[in-house]
Each structure stands twice: as structure tokens, then as C-alpha cells.
Amino acid sequence: MHNRNSLLATTFLGSTLLFGGPAAAENIQIGIGHQSMVTNTVSGGIVLEKLKLIEKYLPSTGKYADASYSIEFRDYDSGPPITNQMLAGKLDFGVMGDYPLIVNGAKFQETGKQQSRLIAVTGYNLKGTGNAIVVPAASSVQSLADLAGRTISVPVGSAAWGMTLKALRDADLFDKVSIANQSPPVGAANIAAGKIDAHADFCPWSEIMEFRGSARKIFDGSEAGVPTFHGIVVRDEFAKQYPEVVEAVLLATLEAQRWIQQDPMQAATRVAEWTGAEKEVLYLYFSNGGISTMEASIKPQWVEALKYDHALLQKEMQIPDLDFAAWIDASHLKKAYAASGLDYDAMVASVVSSQPRNPALKPAEIWFKDKGVVAYDSVAAMLAAAEEAKAGGQAINSTYVYDNLSGLKLFGKAAYLVKDKSGEVLAFMKKADSQQHIAQHGSTPLPAAEPLAMLP
């Protein structure tokens, strides 16, 4: 059966033969569905589009010697519409989160005629951070237990939804909390307006709400114990017809990931210009020690997480079976890694994860408006520098610290800070954790490291 590309080529060929002259070259259409507002997908979507990275790697020899290309990027708020467009043959690639990826593979296999293939990961967090539950900043709620008898909204079918179900069940709250289906923008607006008790979402919406001052995090995805990640699926028909084009897309994705890693501040600034997401939030994800790791290999941990997620989706939403062995295909990615001079197996074995008091990371940073990001040897030194900047009229975009218990990177303004008797300042993601430390060590609570919103 011809797809739209081969039909187009056949039409061109027929017309040229009918009227004489050389056969027309094939125009290969490449349709990519992505989510520019989802931090873990940008290396497979918006960065490729804006930096025109795919064009650098498209094949131009052999059967592609006379080919021309038309690349179309379509931006979506979530994964399900991308899957629908792929099933209809209107998109060839889809970039989406772990739960939508599973639904994509299962729905394709269910047709009995079409298949999709999971070919790469665009960004991950081993512990599951990126998903989170927040409450309005002024809410009295401090923990999951406080949500009993209340309502939480979440994009149903997303990784955040899966995290929410697991968290509520683990806390014996599943039958005590009402769940409403709300998209990220709607949930964020309702949190800001105080119209919902809590909202669960995927990256980077919880941090966007934190940064805007409208929400407070009460549960982090790392507490659910399931990794979170996003990846790329391709229609199998396209991959078989144009395997070199698939490798070109993956080579471009690897370059996009390197581009983010090499200069996270610049990457955050550029992606913010393209998407409207705050650059300070994006830096929290992109930076060294940040929430996301942009690396493409398909690790055993991801396969295990996908199987767990699939079982949950089957239980809650009755999605079809999924043959994981047939669906996951790293062959194209292995070629892209080899072409980039990288050892695929070594990347599979290398997993980045947060750790408390990581000696490889400075414990605090300030992003100054005029001079960029400066790292400090202690949270206390960062606070002193912030006070000095305030006195000198220097504008600060944001401050960053690490949770003392998990090692997760936080906004200074969202952290609960505690000063020990030794003078050391520690940061905590949760108020209850800071209070426990105070009770055990006789420490003193400090005001948060608020960013200084001063005009130049």
C-alpha cells in the first residue's frame, strides 16, 4: 500500500513520463508532532525546528541523490492528538511522554495493519521528578493526607496522572480524593485563581506555577518511585521506506541534546523565546544537576517503567495489549550514536540521578540579570551575595538550591531554608522536612531566597 510520499512520487513520475523528459525527483515529506511546552521533548521538537538541525543530516546520495524534503513541525499540548495524526498517516514522528508513548504503540498494534516504533528518549529523570502535585500558594494543605475529602485535577492519561494514582493508593487515599481531568493550562489557571484544591502535572508546569508564585509543591514525582521520560515514536512504514531519514532525525536530536548540555543558560534563554516558558524554569531543568537529563538511549529502567505504566493503563483505561519486544527498536539510534562517535552500550549503562550533597555540584546559584549564572560554595554565601546585590541595585532573575534529603534542584524562593548552629544553611523541598530537621538539631528557619524583582 502506498503512503502519501510514494503516491506523490508516483504522480510526479507518471506526469513526466506521459509528457516526456526526465523523471521528477521524489519529495519526501517529514511530519513531526511535538510539544514545545514540555521540557523533556524539546530536543526532539522545537530545538530541531528552530536551529534547522535535521536539514544538516538528511541523506543526499544513493536513492536520495535527487530527493527533496519538506519538513513540517506541528505543536501540541499533549500526546494523544499526535497519536491520532500518526494513525491517520498525517504525521510520521511523534514526541511524547511515557504514558502517551505506550498508548501510541498499543493503538498502532491494535489496528493489525500499522505499527509504530519507539526509537529514542528525548529527556528523563530517573526518580520521576518533573511530575508533581501542587496546591495554591496560600493553601493550608501541606501533605497528601491533607487532601482527604478534597479534589485534585490532573491531565488524565498522562504520566502525572499515573503518579497521582500510585501516590493516592500508596497513601490509602484513593477513595478519599476526587480526581478531575484538566489540561495543564487550565489546571495552572485554576490553581492561580484558587478554584481547585490541588493539581498534578508533568514537566515543567509545577515549576512554572512555583516560579510565578501561584503554587506550592506538596508531592514530588520522585516519591512515587517510578522514572519519568519522554521519547520519539515513528510510523514503521515510514521507517522501513526511509531508514536513513530516521537516522537523520536522531542525529539531529543528539546534536540538540548536546546543544542544551553545553550551555544550559543560553539554551534556556533561547527555548524561552521560542515557547513562552520562563527561562528560569527551563534552566532548572536544563542545568547541570537540574531536573532533566537530555540523553537518548533506551535503558532497561525505561522498559521496566513502561511495562509498569502499561499495566496501570490497562487497569484504569482498558488500553490494548502491547508487544514491547516488537515495539521498541533501538537499531536506528545505535547507528546514530556510532555516526556521532559515541558508545551506545556505554550510554545505556550510564544513568544520571540526583543525590544529596553531591560533591560534583556547587550547592547554590544565582542567575543575575546582567552577568548570568554564578555558583556559590554554600547556600549561606549565596544568600549573602543576594543581599549584596539587592543593596547594590543588581537585578536577579532567580536563585537555585538543592533539597537536603533528595538532592533535587529547587528554586531558592520555593525552598524552606534552615540555619544550623554551625552556621550552615540547608534547603528543603517540604516544610515538614525542614521542621523535622529543626526539631532534631535545634536549627533556625530562615526566609526563602526570594528572587529580587528589581528594574535595572
In the chain, what are the domain boundaries? 4-126+228-349, 132-224, 364-446
Q: Which top CATH class is 132-224?
A: alpha beta
Per-residue pLDDT for 139 more than 60? yes
Q: Which top CATH class is 4-126+228-349?
A: alpha beta
Per-residue pLDDT for 120 more than 90? yes
pTM of the model: 0.91
Per-residue pLDDT for 323 more than 70? yes
Per-residue pLDDT for 21 more than 50? no
Q: Judge whether 4-126+228-349 and 132-224 match in fold.
A: yes
φ, ψ at 248 (rounded to 5°): -65, -40
Average pLDDT over every residue of 58-67? 95
Q: Which residue type does 320 have?
A: P
φ, ψ at 180 (rounded to 5°): -115, 145
Confidence of residue 8 (pLDDT cuts 50, 70, 90): very low
pLDDT at 450: 56
Among 357, 324, 309, CA closest to 106: 324
pLDDT at 448: 75
Quick one: what percent of the chain has pLDDT higher than 90? Answer: 89
- Going across the sheet that includes 416-419, the strands are 425-428, 416-419, 444-446
Q: Which residues contact 441 (CB under 8 A, 6 or more apart)?
A: 420, 421
Q: For the chain, what percentages of helix, strand and coil (3-state, to nearest 5) are there?
A: 45, 20, 35
Average pLDDT over every residue of 30-46? 97
DSSP H or E run through 68:
strand 68-75
User: Locate cell 555558583: which residue?
Assistant: 375
Please write down the HEC assignment for all residues of 355-369. CCCCCCCCCEEEEEC
Per-residue pLDDT for 213 more than 50? yes
